[in-house]
Amino acid sequence: MIERYTMPEMRRIWSEESKFRKWLEVEIYACEALAELGQIPPDALAQIKERANFDVRRIAEIEAVTNHDVIAFVTNVGEYVGEAARYIHLGLTSSDVVDTALSALMKEAGEHLVTRLKQLREALLAKAVEHRHTVMIGRTHGIHAEPITFGLKMLLWVDETERNIRRMEQAVETISVGKISGAVGTYANVDPRVEAHVCARLGLKPARLSTQVLQRDRHAEYLTTIAVIGSSLDKFATELRTLQRTDILEVEEPFRKGQKGSSAMPHKRNPITGERISGMARLLRGNALAAVENVALWNERDISHSSVERVIVPDSTIILDYMLVKLVDIITNLQVYPENMRRNLERTHGLIFSQRVLLALVEEKGLSRERAYELVQRNAMQSWRTGESFRVLLLKDGDVTAKLSEEEIDKLFDVSYHLKRVDEIYKRFGL
């Protein structure tokens, strides 16, 4: 657990106390089922349910001797329960407890991440609505292309976030399975009805078939999904960082009273939170690779995945939770500078309307595309080199004015032309 980046809810889910509590639930629910099947006396079940408890420090003491965490746990529970403890863990193997409990915790963590993603969607949607008609330059290859609106950029991220919500919901469904099927998954020493009862109590479904463990493609799907979502957040943060550059400054992440940007340069307002989000996404992608490596285990199980999952499962959910909290804050409190957007739009002296001129010469005046491209490009390159107005240069070019009047050229430099479908796009989102 990464203390610096752990939010309270994830701290609760992934604490040692929470893990052992979930293990205990699995053991008690298994005892309930065994009692229903007549394999545990009712008074023994009552004793187990009344007395069953554990002490994290005591488990650690026992594990130092046994070198086995589940045995240490069961031993400690037995110290609380007394004689009836002989019925605890009856017919179960360690992975029955560990894997089923882990699924329950991953389900809980995943559902929490879905809630966070929905908060991000709402923050983005609010910005999309607010800036529906806030004009800015669209960039391809980092170079000015044609006008868009800042709202469209936010709406694009809404769309991607909605896909991420569906991805996370699917990953939660995939991992929401348990197994109480014994040492190699054959139910030789435990009735399948025990599994059904335990899973029902935990809000899980029994795996159709398992070995000693649940198959790790499930965990890989969950963690690669988290990595994909993290990469989306990286994308959003990278864009905002780019737009915050001094020479662009179209948006700015929150910079609150008392905050310092640099120990050396008092003027600095650095996009540190966005940079942190981008950096943490790299951790998620690395953890996803480890999860994929865990899929291939020997035969019915080896233990090579266990140590890895102790790190990557809690840490990935913790990291993504933190990233989502921070990005929601950035989006909600984002400083948007429409005047700078307009100024940047005009920096290329009208070059962003080159396609409009090209299409007018081809579609309306009958020039070949090659000839029209030649006329437009030569004036565009001159404007690029000299800083002269692209419109003025076109008006000076006799080959162009032979086809287009001044009035026609002026109409081609209307920003609103590029935004005429904005409302149509918004309608696709019910807006």
Q: Is the dihedral of CA 405, 410, 412, 416 positive or negative?
A: negative
Among residues 224, 111, 103, which one has the least CA distance to residue 169?
111
Q: Which residue has the tokens 């560990």?
A: 98
CB-based contact 350:389 (threshold 8 Å): yes
295 vs 220: CA distance, rounded Å: 7
Helices (H), 244-368: 272-293, 304-332, 338-345, 354-359
State the CB neighbour count (10 A cutoff) for residue 401: 14
76 vs 62: CA distance, rounded Å: 8
Among residues 412, 385, 383, 413, which one has the least CA distance to residue 396?
383
> Is 420 strand, coil or helix?
coil
423 vs 325: CA distance, rounded Å: 30
Left (φ > 0), alpha (ψ -120 to 50) or beta: where does 361 sit? alpha
CB-based contact 229:65 (threshold 8 Å): no
Per annotation, catalytic residue among 144, 232, 262, 267: 262
The CA R_g of the chain, rounded to the nearest whole Å, is 30
176 is catalytic: no
State the CB neighbour count (10 A cutoff) for residue 101: 23
Per annotation, catalytic residue among 94, 95, 103, 141: 141
262 is catalytic: yes
Annotated catalytic residues are 141, 262
